[in-house]
């Protein structure tokens, strides 16, 4: 029996999306009679009925290609049941187009918001399988998401390169990395890149403690300091504020980013020339690393196995050394943040990296 499989990629792009698509498709073609329907630009395509029947040749030579051949877009979960000015019932349209495409299931590749909407579709009676994608690595129930390790390599390379210019000029360099709610990317790349201070959203910092590190290094004749800061890091005062008030205060601030604010504070407090570096979307781009190609392929193959076995409403995951799956209903809406006692944090403390809290 032929199975029609819809595939969409939703949310922010990252390396490994095409590798995961390829993994699903190649395993499906090998395990059973499959027809692949490519849904364009994430949930927008499912809402608008924007799709195409894919040919096997369209999945060749995409293992190393960054981004997504299907396109992507952001459709916040909170808006899915809201009927806006266009008078479109998004959930009803997705159900209608699912039936119109004659799909046996839809595979969704994305992060937390994508998984929440995937669970919504499952609750509405559609067969859904989710694959965990994000450079933030904050999806509950999986040790790693694909895209994360490539972003770590990119961010680590940025820190490595900043070391040489920081040393040459005797500067303090503040490197702002992606991670609004979760600090995994900054934690891993900060340690791998030899940062002196790592500031994460989950561990509120005291700027006085950060300044002490810079001053101590200067006193020990170490001519430069490297501070890796997640974009969502906050000081102890901010951590006690409501998010709405904190966001409003930052919007009204003279500084455009957390790194600019910290750099200005350090320069004033320590008298050390300080500069900022914001690699931004570079962290999302380019070819996936070998680890992410492997992980994406394993995730995709496992999704095809679930389709073969007609096991739906699941999110593929890595737990320990095993590729497995969780119920979407168990993980949707949950995030996985860095805990202050996490073993990687402890390893950083053991080698005298400051997290700005002690």
CATH fold of 3-146+288-331: Rossmann fold (3.40.50)
Q: Which residues pair with 318 in a beta bridge?
A: 323
pLDDT category of residue 116 using cuts at 50, 70 and 90:
very high
The string of pLDDT tens digits covering residues 201-216 is 999 999 999 999 999 9
Q: Report pLDDT for 249.
A: 82
Q: Which residues contact 20 (CB under 8 A, 6 or more apart)?
A: 109, 131, 133, 146, 296, 297, 299, 300
Q: Which residues are catalytic?
A: 136
Residue with tokens 């994000």: 134
Among 16-25, 225-234, 254-263, the range scoring the smallest mean pLDDT is 254-263
The string of pLDDT tens digits covering residues 300-320 is 999 999 999 999 999 999 999
Q: Report pLDDT for 231.
A: 95
DSSP H/E element including 129: strand 128-132
**Beta strand 34-39 pairing with 128-132:** unpaired
Residues 279-293 have a mean pLDDT of 94
The string of pLDDT tens digits covering residues 54-95 is 999 999 999 999 999 999 988 777 888 888 878 888 899 999
pTM here is 0.94
Among 198, 211, 235, 218, smallest CA distance to 338 is for 198
> Do 3-146+288-331 and 151-284 fold alike per CATH?
yes
Q: Treating both helix axes as pointing N-terminal to C-terminal, what angle do 290-308 and 148-169 enclose, rounded to 10 degrees?
A: 160
Q: Which residues of 212-358 form beta strands (DSSP E)?
A: 225-230, 274-277, 314-319, 322-327
Domain edges within the chain: 3-146+288-331, 151-284
3-state secondary structure of 112: helix
**Beta strand 274-277 pairing with 225-230:** unpaired
Residues 262-286 have a mean pLDDT of 92
Cα–Cα distances in angstroms (integers) from residue 160 to residues 194, 262, 351, in the given order: 8, 20, 18
The CATH superfamily label for domain 151-284 reads Phosphofructokinase domain (3.40.50.460)
pLDDT category of residue 255 using cuts at 50, 70 and 90:
confident
Q: Report pLDDT for 58.
A: 95
Q: How buried is 135 (Cβ within 10 angstroms: 0-12 exposed, 13-18 middle, 19+ buried)?
A: buried
Q: Please give the Cα distance from 358 to 206 (Å, whole number).
A: 8
């Amino acid at each position: 029996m032929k199975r029609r499989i819809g595939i969409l990629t939703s949310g922010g792009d990252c390396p490994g999306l095409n590798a995961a698509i390829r993994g699903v498709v190649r395993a499906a073609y090998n395990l059973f009679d499959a027809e692949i329907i490519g849904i364009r630009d994430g949930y927008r395509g499912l809402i608008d009925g924007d799709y195409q029947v894919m040919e096997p040749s369209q999945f060749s030579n995409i293992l190393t290609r960054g981004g997504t051949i299907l396109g992507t877009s952001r459709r916040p979960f909170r808006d899915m049941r809201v009927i806006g000015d266009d008078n479109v019932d998004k959930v009803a349209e997705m159900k209608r187009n699912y039936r119109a495409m004659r799909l046996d299931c839809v595979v969704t590749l994305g992060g937390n918001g994508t998984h929440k909407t995937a669970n919504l579709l499952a609750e509405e009676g559609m067969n859904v399988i989710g694959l965990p994608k994000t450079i933030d690595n904050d999806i509950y129930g999986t040790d790693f998401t694909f895209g994360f390790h490539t972003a770590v390599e990119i961010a680590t390379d940025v820190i490595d390169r900043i070391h040489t210019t920081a040393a040459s000029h005797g500067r303090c360099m503040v490197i702002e990395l992606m991670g609004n709610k979760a600090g995994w990317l900054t934690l891993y790349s900060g340690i791998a890149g030899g940062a002196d201070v790592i500031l994460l959203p989950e561990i509120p910092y005291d700027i006085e403690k950060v300044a002490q590190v810079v001053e101590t290094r200067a006193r020990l004749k170490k001519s430069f300091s490297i501070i890796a800061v997640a974009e969502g890091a906050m000081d102890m005062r901010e951590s006690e504020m409501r998010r709405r008030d904190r966001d409003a205060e930052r919007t009204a601030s003279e500084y455009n980013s957390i790194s600019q604010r910290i750099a200005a504070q350090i320069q004033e407090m320590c008298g050390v020339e300080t500069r900022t570096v914001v690699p931004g979307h570079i962290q999302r781009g380019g070819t996936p690393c070998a680890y992410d190609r492997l992980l994406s392929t394993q995730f995709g193959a496992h999704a095809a196995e679930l389709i073969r076995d007609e096991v739906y409403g699941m999110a593929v995951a890595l737990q320990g050394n095993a590729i497995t799956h969780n119920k979407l209903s168990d993980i949707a809406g949950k995030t996985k943040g860095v805990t202050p006692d996490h073993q990687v944090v402890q390893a950083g403390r053991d080698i005298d990296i400051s997290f700005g809290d002690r």
